[in-house]
């Protein structure tokens, strides 16, 4: 079960370099721009990633949280702005190692990044250095993530130049799962913001203004409403594109824990403003400028362009949170689409009442319920604060459990605690419905956290996962096997390894495999993070190249030649391998490897 929230997206895994003996199946090189950029102009740097068949690498935005994304980072260059980085659209396909589709690259991938000199200081060229992180898999097993360096000399034009300026290609965001839900929730968010105290009381006043401008003609009222909404859409879409285009610097900053803590604090402070602990106010001159109006369609357009300023105390915190999300994604197309959708949600009441202006008298009266609506967005911003802390929380289950706590408290507060004087039956129904939705989100998040905790326990310690008693690799565990006269199975795994997850879910969970495991000492070696001295020492000892890898040892601790396996294996094949490792079974070294079986080690360690 994977938690999928529209504005809370998990997406920043980290891993260290692999060992020096990992085969080089991915090569990286950088190509300088075709023409030298002048100060203030932008050229396009190309980074070519070549992947050796039959391997593939994950895209920059994998469809599963545990997968390691491909990433490009630059070293700072004084007087030169580098980024944003743009990845091509990945191929989304079904692979044998996973039940769900995966977004991957294979063959040759060309990543581009902007190079914009701001102060060349008389230099004719600059040296651009950086690194690319990839994780290669071949459909059966995966190598550890690696960072590979690159460098390229970029010529600079002095003064007025003729830089080759390339437009940013369409982002691959639309290939990611769950994006439709993101747009739906942003639209609903805009609709909800229209019910806050800064927007809702303006609706009948604005529609009445349109009627005055149109002389009471219904079609003209609807046209004024359309122009008004288009003005809103222009303002918010420009904000979304700006946030996306500056998102490369933002995304790089999010690698540092102090930045993550600061962003979480900003989200909390914005949320507190929505709970009426204090009020965010714009300077009075700016409010007077936004409040001015003109006649005709130009006046309707100006009102739409500036409504975000007038309503900033209510909608500003939510808009800032969405700007943060878009900036982190770095896609101009996504930024435009999300903020255009937000504007449509805000504008729906104006459009409907512009068309059916005779229905104004049916609108619910303004009241304390609008303040209650605003607090819904306060809890959404608290959830975003938890999202920023995701990579700082220990263990895989604390993040979804923290989300569950936010949603649980939100449901209790919105449904039962926050009193709304004079609320009618309709509001009571809506209030209970919102509380139920928050409770459902809390339950879903809690279930994801419990599942992640159980899965982690099954792969990290002497706890049960699918019925198998896994023990962390240690000399004491090998000595235990020696005393009990049991063979040993050593499973090398990593959290970012898709075949490892498939093995846990399909093969290791089979009752027959669980029963057979009682005759072994079952050991796990976690290679998720590089730098663990014990894990690296065991990896080198058994010459493990990728994960998953299964090494069978006899009770004396010596490897059983011919039984080593890699990649995902079905239950029948794996049980046959286990049976051949039991005492009294035929010597596995004498067995002939069948077609399609993984490479076997012929000599014991």
- Average pLDDT per consecutive 10 residues, the chain (605 residues; last block may be shorter): 34 35 78 85 90 90 82 85 87 77 89 82 83 84 85 80 36 45 82 71 67 62 80 81 62 59 82 76 52 62 68 65 67 80 83 64 60 81 81 70 91 83 75 89 84 52 58 90 92 84 86 91 86 81 88 92 86 91 64 40 34
Among 324, 351, 352, which Cα is nearest to 338's? 324
Domain formed by 461-590, architecture: 3-Layer(aba) Sandwich (3.40)
CA distance 509 to 506: 6
What are the start-end ranges of the H helices in 365-424? Answer: 369-388, 398-412
Q: What's the pLDDT at 452? A: 60
The full length of the chain comes to 605
Q: What's the pLDDT at 327? A: 65
CA distance 90 to 172: 7
Write down the domain spans for the chain: 26-169, 178-392, 461-590
Read off the pTM. 0.42
* Two domains, one topology: 26-169 and 461-590: no
468-472 and 521-526 strand pairing: parallel
Distances (CA, A) of 386 to 167, 237, 255, 278: 35, 26, 16, 22
Domain formed by 26-169, architecture: Sandwich (2.60)
What are the start-end ranges of the H helices in 246-311? Answer: 247-253, 257-274, 284-291, 296-310
**With left for phi above 0 and alpha for psi between -120 and 50, is residue 584 left, alpha or beta?**
left
Distances (CA, A) of 212 to 26, 58, 224, 229, 588: 67, 58, 11, 18, 91
134 by DSSP, 3-state: which? strand
452 by DSSP, 3-state: which? helix
CA distance 321 to 482: 58
Q: Tell me if 484 sits within 8 A of 453, measured CB to CB.
A: no
Q: What's the pLDDT at 489? A: 95
Q: Tell me if 590 sits within 8 A of 563, measured CB to CB.
A: no
């Amino acid at each position: 079960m994977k938690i999928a929230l529209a504005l809370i997206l998990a997406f920043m895994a980290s891993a260290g370099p692999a060992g020096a003996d990992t085969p080089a199946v991915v090569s990286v090189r950088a190509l300088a721009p075709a023409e030298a950029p002048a100060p203030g102009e932008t050229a396009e740097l190309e980074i070519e990633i070549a992947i050796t068949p039959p391997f593939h690498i994950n895209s920059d935005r994998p469809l599963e949280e545990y997968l390691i994304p491909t990433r490009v980072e630059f070293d700072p260059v004084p007087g030169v702005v580098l980024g944003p980085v743009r990845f091509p659209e990945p191929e989304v396909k079904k692979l044998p190692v996973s039940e769900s589709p995966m977004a991957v690259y294979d063959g040759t991938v060309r990543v581009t990044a902007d190079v914009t000199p701001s102060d060349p200081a008389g230099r004719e060229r600059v040296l651009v250095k950086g690194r690319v992180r990839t994780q290669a898999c071949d459909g059966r097993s995966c190598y550890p993530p690696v960072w590979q360096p690159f460098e390229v000399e970029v010529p600079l034009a002095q003064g007025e130049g003729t830089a080759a300026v390339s437009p940013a290609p369409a982002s691959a965001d639309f290939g990611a799962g769950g994006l439709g839900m993101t747009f739906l929730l942003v639209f609903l968010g805009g609709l909800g913001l229209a019910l806050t105290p800064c927007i809702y009381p303006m609706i009948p006043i604005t529609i009445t203004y349109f009627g005055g401008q149109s002389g009471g003609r219904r079609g003209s009222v609807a046209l004024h409403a359309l122009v008004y909404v288009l003005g809103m859409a222009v303002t918010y879409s420009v904000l979304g594109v700006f946030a996306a285009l500056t998102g490369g610097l933002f995304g790089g900053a999010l690698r540092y824990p102090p930045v993550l803590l600061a962003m979480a604090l900003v989200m909390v402070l914005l949320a507190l403003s929505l709970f009426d602990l204090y009020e965010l106010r714009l300077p009075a001159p700016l409010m007077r400028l936004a409040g001015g109006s003109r006649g005709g369609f130009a006046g309707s357009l100006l009102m739409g362009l500036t409504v975000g300023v007038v309503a900033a105390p209510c909608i500003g915190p939510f808009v800032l949170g969405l700007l943060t999300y878009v900036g982190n994604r770095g896609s101009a197309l996504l930024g435009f689409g999300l903020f255009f959708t937000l504007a449509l949600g805000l504008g729906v009441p104006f459009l409907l009442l512009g068309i059916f202006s005779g229905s104004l008298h049916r609108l619910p009266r303004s009241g304390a319920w609008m303040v209650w609506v605003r607090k819904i967005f306060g809890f959404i911003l608290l959830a975003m604060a938890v999202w920023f802390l995701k990579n700082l929380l220990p263990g895989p289950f604390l993040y979804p459990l923290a989300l569950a706590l936010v949603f649980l408290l939100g449901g209790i507060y919105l449904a039962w605690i926050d009193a709304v004087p004079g609320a009618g039956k309709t509001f009571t129904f809506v209030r209970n419905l919102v509380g139920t939705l928050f409770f459902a989100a809390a339950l879903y998040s809690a279930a994801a956290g419990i599942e992640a905790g159980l899965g982690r326990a099954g792969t990290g310690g002497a706890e049960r996962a699918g019925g198998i008693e896994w023990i962390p690799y240690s000399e004491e565990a090998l000595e235990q096997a020696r005393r009990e006269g049991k063979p040993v199975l050593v499973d090398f795994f990593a959290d970012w390894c898709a075949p490892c997850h498939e093995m846990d879910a399909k093969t290791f969970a089979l009752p027959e495999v669980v029963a057979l495991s009682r005759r072994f000492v079952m050991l796990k070696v976690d290679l998720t993070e590089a730098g663990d001295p014990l894990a690296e020492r065991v990896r080198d000892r058994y010459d493990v190249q990728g994960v998953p890898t299964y090494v069978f040892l006899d009770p004396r601790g010596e490897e059983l030649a011919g039984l080593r396996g890699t990649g995902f294996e079905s239950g029948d094949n794996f049980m046959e391998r286990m049976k051949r490792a039991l005492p009294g079974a035929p010597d596995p070294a004498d067995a002939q490897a069948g077609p399609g079986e993984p490479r076997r080690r012929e000599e014991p360690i």
